[in-house]
Amino acid sequence: MTEILPKAIQDIHLVKEENLLNWNNVLEKFKINFGNDIYESWIKNINLKKEFNDHVVLSVPTRFVRDWIVSRYADKMLDVIKSFKKSIQRLEFLIDENQEKSDQLPYSKKSKITSIENSVLNYNRFSPNNRFDNFIVGESNELAYTAARKICVQSAHYNPLFIYSSVGMGKTHLLNAIGLEAGNTKKTMFISAERFMYYFVRSIKKNEMVKFKDLFRSANIFIIDDIQFANGKEAMQEEFFHTFNALIERGSQIVISSDRPPSNLDRIQERIRSRMSGGLVIDIQPPDLELRIKILKSKFQEIKTNFRENYDLGDEVFKFLATEVKSSVREMVGALNRVLAFSKINTKSPNIYECKKILKDFINYNNKSINVELIQNLVASYFNLNVQELLSPRRSRSLARPRQIAMYLAKQHTTNSLPDIGRKFSNRDHTTVIHAVKKIEELIIKDNDIKKSVFELKKKLL
């Protein structure tokens, strides 16, 4: 539809300059949500080209990148963008050839070949910041830490070493630390499964498979991050399996990370899974409060030193961050950075109230989405009822109205279907939900009290 409208008419729906999304903020959130690796590989170079009332046009460097993003990340990206602007309903991608960066295989550039031959294959953002000495050890990650250290002195002792945890618990940090430590003396390769796949596909397209194989099979220590990415990707698994075997045969150490144990990688070939379980499998558990506070304090010191800043944060701020932002260490560090930005601008440590304000969207985002139960609780307490009353079969108006409002909000603010919502209201029929929604829509126009209640409830909800 958009294509056939004359440009001038299309432009009417363009968002005014001053109301445009702040793309840098969106990118920052992408980075947090997708993780550094996916961000660096695919998302960093996306630009906001145009913004309309209900959709945005984003530019990507190549068709390949576009297809990749659309099939994997577009839904999540839209969610993130919506968290900044509710009105955006879809994304459009535009291929901007000028944007293609020198995105070649590492060995296709003369200058880099030497660095690869010399020491560490560091094209995969081998970060100087994630070292053993700044990895804070506690009960939940001690085993993983010890094993990782051991690999560096005594190669192929546990082979492979398989570390798993949920996101943001320090897997990549540890893997990176191994690379930094061992990379001085051994030919170390550190790559995410996602990048491995990327180079693999490119190599096929460019007829460079021989180079590809040589490169990956020459490592003494081969570290591959986020192997769960290979789930269901048959061609890649095939290649990985051969790489894996070739490496083991040479006596090279392999280190693998994943967001789940090998046994739960359900779409990975059985022979690979059993190979991966053949060494040492270790998990990292979520850190407890004490460890979280320690990590925060250590990050804070690092930032202070690196940027030669001279501000301080109150103890209650650390405690607040460690208590409120529990989902992952990554989120917690992200939250810390926000708080620091505040202290820098205001030249003082924020108090708890200010922290809450600064981190509003952060914490909401963590607590995840609005659901029917949440709405029922909120509505019940707003009308001084308990949830049982709200869900009961009684039809007195003092119960029926709040109930209808709750159904209306559930329809508007969750993705549950009408029958689903009905079920959650003591197995009512979906026609009852439809009736409730219509009724409240009418009343919002006619009845000021209802209008006010709905408005206030929405405010609390969002």
Interaction site with ligand ADP (CB under 6 A): 130, 134-136, 141, 165, 167-173, 295, 329-330, 333
- Amino acid identity, position 62: T
CA distance 446 to 441: 9
The pair of structure tokens assigned to 393 is 């079969």
295 binds, among Mg ion, ligand ADP, none (CB under 5 to 8 A by kind): ligand ADP
Q: Supply the minimum distance, in Å, between the C-beta of residue 318 and ligand ADP.
A: 14
HSE-CB at 313 with a 13 A cutoff on CA atoms is 30
Neighbours of 11 (CB within 10 A): 11
What is the nearest approach in angstroms of ligand ADP to the Cβ of residue 319?
A: 18
Query: Which is nearer to ligand ADP, 171 or 411 (by Cβ)?
Result: 171
- Of the pair 322, 380, the CB lying nearest ligand ADP is at 322
Beta carbon of residue 279, minimum distance to ligand ADP (angstroms, whole number): 19
Pick from 119, 126, 180, 186: which is nearest to 156 by CA? 186
Asked if 154 contacts 247 with a C-beta cutoff of 8 angstroms, the reply is no
Least distance in angstroms from the C-beta of 179 to ligand ADP: 12
CB of 168 to ligand ADP, least distance (A): 4
Minimum CB distance to ligand ADP smaller for 148 or for 295: 295
* CA gyration radius, the chain: 26
Q: Which of residues 159-218 bind Mg ion (CB under 5 A)?
A: 171-172
- 10 Å CB burial of residue 213 (0-12, 13-18, 19+) is middle
Q: Which is nearer to Mg ion, 47 or 134 (CB)?
A: 134
Q: Give the one entry of Mg ion, ligand ADP, none that residue 193 binds, where binding means its C-beta sits below a cut-off of 5 to 8 angstroms depending on kind.
A: none
Nearer to ligand ADP, 178 or 221 (CB): 178
Q: Given the complex with ligand ADP, which of 80 and 333 has the nearer CB atom?
A: 333
Q: Of these partners, ligand ADP, Mg ion, none, which one is at the site of residue 330 (CB under 5 to 8 Å by kind)?
A: ligand ADP
The entry of Mg ion, ligand ADP, none near residue 136 (CB within 5 to 8 angstroms by kind) is ligand ADP
Q: Is 211 exposed, middle or buried (0-12, 13-18, 19+ CB in 10 A)?
A: middle
Give the residue from 401, 377, 387, 400 showing the smallest Cα distance to 461.
Answer: 377
- With CB atoms as reference, the residue minimizing the distance to ligand ADP is 170
Whole-angstrom CA distances from 80 to 22, 84, 309 are 12, 7, 31
Q: With contacts defined by CB under 5 A, how many residues of the chain interact with Mg ion?
A: 2
Give the tokens for residue 375. Answer: 């709405």
CB of 332 to Mg ion, least distance (A): 15
- Out of Mg ion, ligand ADP, none, what residue 453 binds, judged by CB under 5 to 8 A for its kind, is none
Tokens of 349: 């440590």
Element containing residue 187 per DSSP (H, E): none
The helix/strand/coil state of 53 is: coil
Partner from ligand ADP, Mg ion, none contacting 275, C-beta within 5 to 8 A by type: none
Residues near Mg ion (CB under 5 A): 171-172
